[in-house]
Amino acid sequence: MRITPTRLVYAGLFILGMVFLLQYINHRRNGSAQHECLNRRPDDQLRVIFLAEKVHRALEILQVPHFLCYESLWASLYNEGPRTWEQTVEMCLMGDGLTQQDEGFVAKFFRTQDLTLDYDMLEGVYIVKLAEKVNFPGLPSATGTDVSARLVLFQKRSGSMMMRKAGMKRALLPDDCENPLLECFPSQLALQPLSKIKFGANQFPAPREGIEIQKYHFPDDWWLQRKIPSVC
């Protein structure tokens, strides 16, 4: 193809437009995060870490495979713990290790760990919070009901090599993983034993191959680094 001055101008404008688009996306993300982190308290990160450790121990006792995912994996990869504005830790649960156990037994067990557990059947997500009576070590004036853990359930259909997001609203979707609601990713990324990654002072399970799973959970912008805003 012949290169002409007109084509060079169009190519330059296209590249310039892409640069401005990426800058705009980063500005919107950081601007939103800055607004949120201005309203956070200094001890919020410690509260999220405390809850994450309790949930991790409970899942280990129940022998439920799990790992940090979504925004909490970003936070661990880049910041080794929750960002200043975050009040939720996100983990992915693999298989039926929790759903196949008696619902009453599981709820009672979580209460013995000073945790409350609610299941959103439509979304396939467990929400875990600290019991109201719980105080945080070293934070005598802080209570825990406004921080939470979001446990996202993924399951593998027979004959498939992909993990797909659970929930009643996805039950009738085909197994081809074409529908973005399924948020599919290769099951090999969740093979045991999992690697470990730092989240606060402790190590938590992480999916294999580092950032690879984020390409499936954030297909439109996984390559953009998640940074802590300077105001935090």
pLDDT digits (tens, 9 = 90+) for 79-107: 899 988 888 999 999 988 888 888 899 99
pLDDT in tens, 59-86: 999 999 999 999 999 999 988 999 888 8
Over residues 175-199, the pLDDT tens digits come to 888 899 999 999 999 999 999 999 9
Whole-number CA gyration radius for the chain: 21
pTM score of the predicted model: 0.78
Measured CA to CA in angstroms, residue 165 lies from 23, 47, 71, 218 at distances of: 32, 28, 16, 14
d(C-alpha 49, C-alpha 27), whole Å = 28
H-type helices in 113-147, by residue range? none
Give Cα separations from 117 to 16, 38, 125 (angstroms).
49, 29, 10
Let me know: does 70 contact 90? Beta carbons within 8 Å. Answer: yes
Query: For residue 174, which phi and psi values (nearest 5 degrees)?
Result: -65, 165
